[in-house]
Structure 1
Amino acid sequence: MADLYNVGKNLCRAILGPLYRVEVHGRENVPKEGAVLLCSNHISNLDPPIVGMMFPRPVAFMAKEELFSAPIIKHILPHLKAFPVKRGMSDRDALRKALAVLKEGEVLGLFPEGTRSKDGKLGKGMAGAGFFALRSNAVVVPCAVIGPYKPFGKLKVVYGKPLDMEKYRQEKVSAEEATAIIMNQIAELIKKYQ
């Protein structure tokens, strides 16, 4: 499985890297081990491969359930560590899978907005990101994808400093409040690197 993940990652790098001239900032902010909740803004359908291929560790992304019905993609996604989530409702299987990824000390990738931004601006984050941040021992790595996605234009992927959520766990902040903290960090990265 790891081999297929690396093959997919290298293939994405070979095709998408030169096409969008991806520039990465903050790779040094990524913890080398331990559970990480990677939270990014969402401006394109290409965000998951772009964010994942540049991240130094394998990333398990939650992906909308519909993708797992697409003819070719449905066979590829599981090898890329993606797993389905039903949108618009509470999906207990997806919640359990996501928490298991973090419990195993791996990286869970999320787009807290829940859907792609139509205008490229950062939207409101949903409570899911805060839920996972508070219910696990993961640190949160905020991420900003700064476009636009124009062939041979420049695209930036920025990984921010990890957020230790332990203080917020002890203060018993709500999932919504935790998500707002995470979204604020993503907004700061966009502002700084745009």
Structure 2
Amino acid sequence: MLYRLGIFLCLVILKTIFRIKVIGKENIPSEGPVIICSNHISNLDPPVVGMTSPRTIHFMAKGELFNNKWLGGLLRRLNAFPVRRGMKDRQALREGLNILKDNHTLGLFPEGTRSKTGEVQRGLAGAGFFALRSDAVIIPCAIIGEYKLSGQLKVVYGEPVPMDQLRSEKASAQVVVDQIMNEIQKLRDIHKNNSN
């Protein structure tokens, strides 16, 4: 209930302020486990991805946000769960895998932190771990533009990242996340200067 209310408020406020255009959301499967992997340029990225996706998303968020009891409780009610950065957080890995096992959608920002330049950075291996340890469909997402009144923000969902060969070859998590980030970069390159 709170998640849906949050999505409604984001649609009313953010979509109007930043003139958000959504492309390719039909690429997101309507059922089954899905991982949406996006580049990260602003603290507003999670609500923007959440409001433009046709599916409810469970976001992995930095653990520091949950240190405040009130904020942590609110984030939990908004389907977010914590991950401790800079270390192997087994609890977060289990929680992410359980979300996918239950055929839900997991939202990740593989870069781990916001890009100061707006350019796509190299991703961390965590996204590759979830991709390899599940049967989830991997959807790349590119957030393009700036969060400013005079511009337009695009949220582009690409076609699923091919995973069959990577899984059969038992590719490393880093190889997988590099492929995912390449797909995000391609979306950004195609749509950055495209007015459509």
What's the TM-score, normalizing by structure 1?
A: 0.95
1:121 aligns to what SS in structure 2?
coil
Per the alignment, residue 80 of structure 2 pairs with 82
Return the letter of the residue paired with 2:34. V
Per the alignment, residue 165 of structure 1 pairs with 163
Query: Offset at 1:166?
Result: 2.5
- 2:9 corresponds to which of 5, 11, 19: 11
Per the alignment, residue 108 of structure 1 pairs with 106
The separation in 1 between residues aligned to 2:97 and 2:154, in whole angstroms, is: 29
Per the alignment, residue 183 of structure 1 pairs with 181
Per the alignment, residue 154 of structure 2 pairs with 156
Give the unaligned 5+ runs of structure 1: none
- 1:131 corresponds to which of 106, 129, 132: 129
Return the letter of the residue paired with 1:140. I
Return the letter of the residue paired with 1:148. E
Alignment of structure 1 residues 47-126 onto 2, 5 Å:
47-70=45-68, 72-126=70-124
1:48-104 deviation per Cα after TM superposition (whole angstroms, max 9, x unaligned):
000111100000000011111346532321111000110111111000000001111
Per the alignment, residue 42 of structure 1 pairs with 40
The separation in 2 between residues aligned to 1:18 and 1:151, in whole angstroms, is: 9
The separation in 2 between residues aligned to 1:99 and 1:165, in whole angstroms, is: 17
* C-alpha distance 72-154 of structure 1, shift in aligned 2 (>3 A): farther
The separation in 1 between residues aligned to 2:4 and 2:125, in whole angstroms, is: 31
RMSD (CA atoms): 1.1
| Contact 1:18–1:152 (CA under 8 A) maintained in structure 2 | no
**Identical counterparts, % of pairs:** 56
What's the TM-score, normalizing by structure 2?
A: 0.95
Query: Offset at 1:164?
Result: 3.9
1:132-170 deviation per Cα after TM superposition (whole angstroms, max 9, x unaligned):
100100010000000111125210000000124222111
Q: Name whichever of 136-145 and 7-16 sits farther off.
A: 7-16
Runs of 4+ in 1 over 3 A off after TM superposition: none
Return the letter of the residue paired with 2:60. M
Count of aligned pairs between the two proteins: 192
The separation in 2 between residues aligned to 1:116 and 1:25, in whole angstroms, is: 22
1:103-131 deviation per Cα after TM superposition (whole angstroms, max 9, x unaligned):
11110000011110011111001111111
